[in-house]
Amino acid sequence: MTTLLVASTGGHLAELHDLVPRLGIGDRRWVTFDSPQSRSLLADEEVVHVPPATSRDLVGVVQDLLVARRMFGRRRYDRVISTGAGVAVSFFLPAAAAGVECTYIESATRTRGPSLTGRLVARVPRTRLYTQYPGWADHNWRYGGSIFDAFTAEPVAEPRPVRKVVVTLGTHPRYLFPRLLARLVEILPPSIEVLWQVGATVIDRMPAGARRQVPSAEMHQAMREADVVIAHAGVGSALAAMQAGQRALFIPRRRAHGEHVDDHQVEMARELHGRNLVLAREATEITLADLDTAAAWRVRASPVVTPFPPN
């Protein structure tokens, strides 16, 4: 049985990659965009790179749809699993037409209801739909557990002084985060060693050594060695920090400032702060004391892997 795993790069890909051990699949093939993240994360996997489709990107969705039709015409797949975003629509439509089983797992960022992609794929016949929050599960959307169930946080007996910091603002090409970058440049002293992944964000006082994107392997290693991780409130950044044992300082983008399409990051930050897995703060209010607070905790992963989604 060959499973096609479909996801946009960024948090969607990180989430699906993290779920693979819990999905109970064997032979698989990935579909995603070509990026340092996908090449690093899927280095040992069979991958098909498709044209990137960003948020609300109809042209990108159509381009990926054409690729999907060619793929289903050349090879038989038994099922398609996706965590989004728009590329899921591109592959679910021809998959359903070919009689292939489709499963959509809504992103953990959607704490109150489905995303636009989720609402669209819900219209595709015979698609199995899963949410990671029991609060909005219903007869269409089944609760399948959460990717964050495997993590717990605990205080450190003797916290280390903050000397190394990783900053990641995400890599979305359309949505910038200058408020956070400007604040960090303002408060972080020269004595702290910082790895900066700033995506497309540019400000007048750019920090020395700022990089648009860092390969996943290098980023994960840097997070493991850091005293603190400061991240935008994306699911991929949260997972990477937790896997590195970090209780990240987590800052949501705000729609009112044009930093994202909606305020799902605000909800994500609230959810993970409530689980004690991150320290949520607003971009313009971060202090050096917050770094010390974040550094005083560590996150641990449970050795028990719960199947997801349920049969």
In this predicted model, what pLDDT tens digit does every residue of 137-161 receive, in sequence order? 999 999 988 999 889 999 998 888 9
In a domain, 309, yes or no: no
Specify the CATH number for the domain of residue 42.
3.40.50.2000
Chosen domain end from 84, 110, 145: 145
In a domain, 7, yes or no: yes
Q: How many other β-carbons are positioned within 10 Å of the β-carbon of residue 78?
A: 12
In DSSP terms, 211 is beta-bridged to 197
Q: How many other β-carbons are positioned within 10 Å of the β-carbon of residue 56?
A: 12
Q: Tell me: the pLDDT tens digits for 61-82?
A: 899 999 999 999 999 999 999 9
In a domain, 91, yes or no: yes
In a domain, 307, yes or no: no
Domain shared by 185 and 81, yes or no: no
Distance set, CA 13 to CA 88, 105, 258, 287, 311 (Å): 12, 12, 24, 31, 23
Chosen domain end from 118, 145, 172: 145
Chosen domain end from 88, 122, 145: 145
- CA 218, 224, 225, 230 dihedral sign is positive
Domain shared by 19 and 69, yes or no: yes
Domain that holds residue 290: 152-301
Model's pTM, two decimal places?
0.81
CA separation for the pair 106, 3 (Å, rounded): 18
Domain shared by 119 and 159, yes or no: no
Domain shared by 54 and 95, yes or no: yes
Domain shared by 123 and 188, yes or no: no
Domain shared by 133 and 210, yes or no: no
Domain shared by 112 and 219, yes or no: no
Number of domains in the chain: 2
Q: Tell me: the pLDDT tens digits for 180-204?
A: 999 999 999 999 999 999 999 999 9
Domain shared by 130 and 39, yes or no: yes
